[in-house]
Amino acid sequence: MVLFRSVSALSKLRSRVVRQPSLNSTVRWLQIQTSSDLDLQSQLRELIPEQQERLKKLKTEHGKVQLGNITVDMVLGGMRGMTGLLWETSLLDADEGIRFRGLSIPECQKVLPTAKPEGEPLPEGLLWLLLTGKVPSKDQVDALSKELRDRATVPDHVYRAIDALPITAHPMTQFSTGVMALQVQSEFQKAYEKGIHKSKYWEPTYEDSMNLISRLPLVASYIYRRIYKDGNVIPVDNALDYGANFSHMLGFDDPKMHELMRLYVTIHTDHEGGNVSAHTGHLVASALSDPYLSFAAALNGLAGPLHGLANQEVLLWIKSVVDECGENVSTEQLKEYVWKTLKSGKVVPGYGHGVLRQTDPRYTCQREFALKHLPDDPLFQLVSKLYEVVPPILTELGKVKNPWPNVDAHSGVLLNHFGLTEARYYTVLFGVSRAIGICSQLVWDRALGLPLERPKSVTMEWLENFCKKANA
């Protein structure tokens, strides 16, 4: 697990160590912060100089170490598998799944503060963890919740910009437009135009990032209410945390839906830096574009059906199964429908992943939520049957490296159960969540002074000539 150990920080922090079993039954030692310091930015001021020195030492002493060989398949296959980005906030293992600053999803569920006993982790706690590498206390998370609420003010021009679009525009189009309209308040842009020193770039980036994260639920819920609820907007409830408030502004006040939104936002925040949305945000930001411009670009990548739009496609496909076969579909009927989908040249949405080679832990924790709160839901039972039927078929097909379900295979059914049935909107939920991971890393991009991203591209002729020489 990656932990920051700063002499200056440790002199101010009292820490206790907790023994925590991991999924593979080994022992992990988690440092849980018990400092009374409730300000997140002050934590970063202590951590950043140490990490700057760490990066400098790494580059000086090991900059020439080779990380692997690039093959033609990688070049032609979308750079898949190339190790080429520094991404501190999370790491993805093909078999184990995502770890946030070294913590697996089950570990985050156990150690991050919750709104109620045995509840789901608060997204604010994961934001603190991603930015600092430390597990926050409940008081620190409560203070961060309040800070985000205090920052959550959206200018009227943002809503006017959204209203200028047809109500039929896809929710992601409206969401991206709203983020671009927020950009006129960018603190980074203002500071850069005034001539801020590059060593201070992270400070206005932090301000922009926190403002953006705080305001996204307001913009996203406005779009939902505009499209689906006749424009009847629900204001912020200052007594609620980030996830519950988002659910409330959408119009869902069932305590179980609040818990689901806390879980949903937490597990969708980050997935290392190579996925389309995260990589796009990092790439655009490397040109010193501010967080609003960078995140708007990330959203446009997330809107693609091979990325975030897949959660929309999953529920629509599941409902098509019900329409054709009924809710009490048999295993044999389900197998036939899966084969019918594959033979028509389509994929089974929600299955397979570009990196993972096992069941996505984000799928597993959502399944556990469903078993706890909605075990008799017909669509959940159908999802459970798919879990038994689809992997063997994809394995038999022989073309799929990972036949197991990913995060998108489950989220839509949970949302649908609690009344959020509008599948076209689901990717917006994903976008609100993903801002936490992208912006956390962007703060560190600026703090570490990471350079403009500029990979080398080649032509097919270059590759052909290179291969001829290599094989001569």
Among residues 322, 298, 302, 300, the alpha carbon closest in space to that of 310 is found at 302
Secondary element (H or E) of residue 107: helix 105-111
Q: Is 408 a catalytic residue?
A: yes
Cα–Cα distance, 221 to 227 (Å, whole number): 10
- Active-site residue among 258, 353, 410, 417? 353
Among residues 329, 341, 314, the alpha carbon closest in space to that of 411 is found at 314
> How are strands ordered across the β-sheet holding 90-93?
90-93, 97-100, 103-104
386, 334 in Cβ contact below 8 A? yes
Helices of type H across 268-398? 276-285, 291-302, 310-325, 331-343, 361-373, 378-397
The DSSP bridge pattern shows strands 27-33 and 15-21 to be antiparallel
Q: What is the DSSP letter of 19?
A: E
Distance of alpha carbon 257 from the chain centroid? 19
Cα–Cα distance, 302 to 276 (Å, whole number): 7
Using CA atoms of 286, 207, 30, 37 in order, give the dihedral in degrees to the nearest 10.
150
Residue 123 CB-half CA count within 13 A: 32
Residue with the two structure tokens 């101010």: 12
- Active-site residue among 258, 271, 307, 410? 307
- Active-site residue among 241, 290, 408, 445? 408
Q: Is 353 a catalytic residue?
A: yes
| Secondary structure class of 96 (helix, strand, coil) | coil
Tokens, residue 110? 């156990």
Q: How many CB atoms lie within 10 A of CB 92?
A: 19
Annotated catalytic residues are 307, 353, 408
